[in-house]
Amino acid sequence: SLLPPFLCFLATALKAPLAHAGPGAEEPPWCPYKVLGGEGTAGGRLCFRPPARGFQCAAGACRAHRSPGGALAANVLANGSVLLQWGPPRPAAGLRGFALNCSWDGTYTRFPCDSVELGAACRDYLLPEAHGSVRYRLCLQPRYAPPRPAPPAQCVEFRLEPAAMRDIVVAMTAVGGSICVMLVFICLLVAYITENLMSPARGGAGAATAA
């Protein structure tokens, strides 16, 4: 007998940053996928996740990057995750699935990331944690049953804002606010000292003149 496949659910991770279809919409099919090694080695677990239907990249909380042909979009979210989206390929007959290859630029060469095999029903994929200050290149290629050849891959490149830079901006904002408060306090203290220490001296000088 065949053992049931391992099931991996990312619904919890998707609820916060992504928007789904309304309650009255038809329930979308599950997207099966398998994560392979960086060299495309065999293995990995068969996982399932719900599609992110109805998601739109909102300004301020998301930044969209598109492939030259426009078929593949990488939506970089504010929490550091990246949602990939693509439309149904043409022709649809004989489609077996998709191959997603990831790589990033190093100092002298390009290093492979995890490769992903996705089912024919998949139209998006979530990278939950992408590294900042790294330029990514993601290529999606539809796979068809023989003898139809695979069409050219759609590739998109993007770079995430480094997390350290976001922390520095937040820290500078907090420090700037603290400095403003300290300056106001110092100004009030100087005014208080000037008012209370200089007044008796002026009063004593006036009394001596009168005598």
* CATH H-level superfamily of 31-160: Immunoglobulins (2.60.40.10)
Give the Cα separation of 204 and 166 in Å (integer).
58
Does the pLDDT value for residue 127 go beyond 60? yes
Tally of CB atoms within 10 A around 131: 12
CB distance 53 to 87 below 8 Å: no
Does the pLDDT value for residue 14 go beyond 80? no
pLDDT tens, 142-193? Answer: 999 988 888 889 999 988 776 544 444 444 554 555 677 777 778 888 877 7
Break the chain into its structural domains and give their ranges: 31-160, 162-192
**Which residue from 127, 122, 63 is spatially nearest to 96, judged by alpha carbons?**
122
> In the prediction, which pLDDT does 159 show?
85
Question: pLDDT band at 204, cuts 50/70/90?
Answer: low
Give the Cα separation of 157 and 177 in Å (integer).
37
Q: What is the pTM for the complete model shown?
A: 0.62
96 alpha carbon, distance to own chain's centre: 29
